[in-house]
């Protein structure tokens, strides 16, 4: 649906606020990514499995050990961290999937701005719990609260779409994608560096968590002070309050569907299912294969973000969304097969380059296509980390990434054989 026309200066001001807030939010969010293996290892060593302990983590690890003993093949204890990380990733996304439609309905009823500020309040509580997480139970609580309140990126994307018409939509989604790429360039490396600064003996990750909390508080204050409401119905109501009492009835714009709603959402689901699993397992794979430290993982994720940022600015914004998606899914399929076979760090960075292409293209392209015709489902992101990390834990790296590669070839078949470019996405690009 086309957005209600806004003055260019007003629209640019709103997009600037959304861009800056998203950047702060995503940098804060990516702090934890390179820390997960060491963070979970810290809690495992702190609460080592023993029959006398009744902590949540002990019960989980004892259950894993019992499950492992039911197989004839030995499974290394190092892989417990991979599976535990996948379970936490899926838990976070599952809770987000539950909360997202509720947050969406609240934003439709009370306005995007109000819903976004409530979501930010939940994020502040989540990161504050991480700062105080001297045991696994508190850290788990921080992930639960974070998952249930993580609607701010969804709402910011919706707000950007609110102030964009069909011709502007692709460029606007590319702007949102650029926020992700820039955040991945700096966030993981900064989080890893701050994790080396030990200010709280009982929580070695408190410095990174504290700086993350600072960014979230600054972002929330900035949104409260500078972000106006963008929901079209709310804007129209505000604009007509000062009129001479004339009633204006707007006729909805006709919309013709190019792609089946089912096909578009199924493609999105299958891609996210495999990609989110690989994405979440990536730091654990480098930890398992090359014994990477948090700093080395942060550097690698920063490299991916840097390449993705360059591609966002030079390639992605010049192509229509379907072509962008086609390029990205091919690169993703190749990266899966490379990750399953690599043995050197040079090969790792080669695969990371392909992942950067995927990061710069598929997410932006699918979001753009979805903004024309469908919505993004969180189901794939809820299942992906747990299923993929379980496969990694049980069958090993080679099999896990080979299965992922075959799955991504299926996504390629859907993208090249089924999807078509919506007419609105083929119009001349307009600057965001």
| Cα–Cα distance list, 195 to 41, 135, 199, 285 (Å) | 14, 17, 10, 20
Unique residue bearing structure tokens 């700086």: 211
Lowest mean pLDDT among 123-127, 207-211, 275-279, 421-425: 421-425
Query: Does the pLDDT at position 243 exceed 90?
Result: no
pLDDT confidence tier of residue 192, bands split at 50, 70 and 90: very high
**pLDDT at residue 251 in the model:** 45
Residue 355 CA from chain centroid, whole number: 14
Phi-psi region of 375 (alpha: psi -120 to 50; beta: other; left: phi over 0): beta
Q: What's the longest Cα–Cα distance across the chain?
A: 80
Q: Which tens digit of pLDDT belongs to each residue from 297-340?
A: 999 999 999 999 898 878 877 788 888 899 999 999 999 999 99
- Over residues 21-33, the pLDDT tens digits come to 999 999 999 999 9
pLDDT tens digits, 351-366: 999 999 998 888 777 7
**Mean pLDDT across the chain:** 83
Among candidate residues 401, 405, 379, the one with its CA nearest the CA of residue 389: 401
Q: Is the pLDDT of residue 1 over 60?
A: no
pLDDT interval class at 66 (50, 70, 90):
confident
419 falls in which pLDDT band (50, 70, 90)?
Answer: confident
pLDDT winner (highest mean) among 58-67, 153-162, 246-255, 345-354: 345-354
**pLDDT value at 257 more than 70:** no
C-alpha dist (Å) from residue 339 to 37, 80, 404: 18, 20, 10
């Amino acid at each position: 649906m086309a957005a209600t026309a806004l003055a260019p200066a007003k629209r640019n001001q709103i997009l600037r606020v959304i861009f800056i807030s998203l950047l702060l939010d995503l940098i804060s969010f990516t702090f934890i990514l390179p820390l997960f293996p060491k963070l979970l290892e810290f809690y495992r060593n702190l609460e080592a499995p023993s029959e006398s302990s009744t902590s949540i983590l002990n019960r989980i690890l004892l259950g894993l050990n019992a499950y492992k003993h039911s197989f004839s093949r030995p499974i290394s204890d190092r892989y417990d961290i991979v599976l535990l990380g996948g379970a936490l990733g899926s838990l976070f996304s599952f809770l987000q999937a539950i909360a997202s439609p509720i947050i969406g309905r609240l934003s439709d009823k009370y306005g995007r701005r109000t819903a976004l500020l409530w979501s930010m309040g939940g994020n502040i509580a989540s990161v504050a719990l991480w700062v105080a997480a001297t045991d696994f139970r508190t850290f788990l609580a921080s992930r639960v609260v974070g998952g249930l309140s993580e609607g701010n990126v969804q709402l910011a994307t919706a707000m950007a779409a609110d102030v964009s018409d069909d011709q502007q939509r692709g460029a606007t989604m590319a702007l949102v994608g650029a926020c992700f790429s820039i955040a991945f360039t700096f966030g993981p490396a900064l989080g890893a560096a701050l994790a080396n600064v030990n200010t709280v003996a009982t929580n070695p990750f408190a410095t990174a968590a504290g700086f993350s909390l600072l960014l979230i508080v600054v972002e929330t204050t900035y949104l409260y002070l500078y972000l106006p409401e963008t929901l079209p119905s709310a804007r129209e109501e505000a604009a007509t309050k000062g009129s001479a009492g004339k009633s204006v009835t707007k006729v909805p714009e006709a919309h013709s569907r190019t792609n089946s709603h089912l096909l578009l959402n199924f493609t999105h689901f299958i891609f996210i299912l495999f990609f989110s699993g690989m994405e979440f397992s990536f730091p654990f794979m480098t930890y398992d294969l090359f014994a990477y430290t948090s700093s080395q993982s942060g550097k690698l994720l920063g490299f991916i973000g840097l390449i993705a940022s360059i591609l966002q600015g030079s390639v992605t914004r010049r192509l229509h969304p379907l072509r962008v998606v086609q390029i990205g899914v091919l690169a993703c399929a190749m990266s899966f097969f490379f990750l399953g076979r690599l043995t050197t760090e040079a090969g790792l960075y080669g695969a990371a380059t392909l992942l950067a292409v995927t990061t710069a293209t598929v997410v932006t392209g699918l979001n753009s296509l979805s903004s024309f015709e469908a919505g993004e489902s969180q189901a794939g992101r809820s299942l992906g980390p747990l299923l993929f990390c379980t496969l990694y834990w049980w069958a090993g790296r080679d099999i896990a990434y080979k299965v992922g590669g075959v799955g991504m070839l299926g996504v390629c078949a859907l993208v090249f054989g089924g999807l078509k470019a919506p007419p609105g996405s083929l119009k001349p690009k307009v600057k965001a």
